[in-house]
Structure 1
């Protein structure tokens, strides 16, 4: 996604604006601004193998949950926390006001591409209640592209399922259809 471009989930009001794209720095990092509406739950507890994520609050508050015990931290404007590689984390906006934050991934990961797909599918009416794609194959592609892994599910099983879903999406034409969401 190019610098300055914004994508939006019209159903939830969540949006993402690219501030620094991986094309700007040879893949060293991505930096994007996220607008989380009030009372917006986050993703399930997960971890990444390929990149660390630093969350910095600009406005509002962000509820961060780290590690297996889901240690809670409430971040205020100007505060940051980094979820290191392999560190379990999730976040939410439990407040009555929007949260505006930046997220930096080092090195650049697939999170922005995954959300381009998720927001596009949602805007086309294909989202489940949790905001992710309702179609199971597209949901698996979202998770695979985001490079997120769930605790409690064997890592090799997850890698295998993501690889199979990518293959099925490719041979059935689903992968090609998802490319339209990545055009920007």
Structure 2
């Protein structure tokens, strides 16, 4: 992992997260995104909202097929079911604050996915190679891709995540990456 339980990084998407505030209702963290870093694909959430506030640099965001460049003090609100993706096309770091409401299990999911990435257990897209790990992470993050019907994704993710819980994989991931 990286430095402690409240700061962790992902070499695949080239970012580091520092948790600033955490409660049941809200998770706030600062993201340090390196040049040419960012998410590999569009996705959406059904139960959370995200707010990005740019502190330094220029963040490229795709929100519901609308491409935007956010600069310092710009904010964007990403509501439930909004498709989105962020990335850094510049040669400078981007620093932005992320507020997630409600917090749900997002911090743990990020720690697991980032830990797997650091351990080389993910594809170039950043998704875990182990299908049970992938399902556990996606289930915790409430994340879906727009290209496939949500009902099919939800069913597959729910079943595989449940199997992962039953056979102890979720507990193993939590112990390895969240403590």
- Please give the TM-score of this superposition, normalised by the length of structure 2: 0.89
Change (3 A) 1:113 1:43: farther
Contact 1:42 1:93 in 2 (8 A): no
| Matched residue SS, 2:133 | helix
- 1:38 corresponds to which residue? 35
Counterpart selection for 1:160 from 155, 160, 167: 155
Q: 1:149 to 1:28 in 2, by over 3 A?
A: same
| 1:14 lines up with 2:9 in the alignment | no
Deviation at 1:91?
Answer: 1.0
The answer to whether 1:48 aligns with 2:49 is: no
Q: Which sections of structure 1, spanning at least 5 residues, go unmatched?
A: none
Equivalenced residue count is 175
Once the two structures are TM-superposed, the CA of residue 172 in structure 1 deviates from its matched residue by: 2.6
| 1:47-126 → structure 2 map (5 Å cutoff) | 47-67=44-64, 70-126=65-121
| Unaligned residue ranges in structure 2 (runs of 5+) | none
3-state SS in 1 of match to 2:163: helix
Partner in structure 2 of residue 182 of structure 1: 178
Q: TM-score, normalised by structure 1?
A: 0.87
Task: Give distance in 2, aligned partners of 1:109 and 1:61.
Answer: 28
Native 8 Å contact 1:42 1:91 kept in 2: yes
State whether residues 37 and 88 of structure 2, in contact with CA within 8 Å, keep that contact through their aligned partners in structure 1: yes
Equivalent positions of 1:132-147 (< 5 A) are: 132-147=127-142
Q: Name the stretch that deviates more: 98-107 or 167-176.
A: 167-176
Q: Return the alpha-carbon distance in structure 2 between the equivalents of residues 84 and 10 of structure 1.
A: 27
RMSD: 1.9
In structure 2, distance between residues paired with 1:102 and 1:147: 20
Kept in 1, the 8 Å contact 2:60–2:67? The answer is: yes
- Alpha-carbon distance between aligned partners in 2 of 1:52 and 1:43, rounded to the nearest angstrom: 20
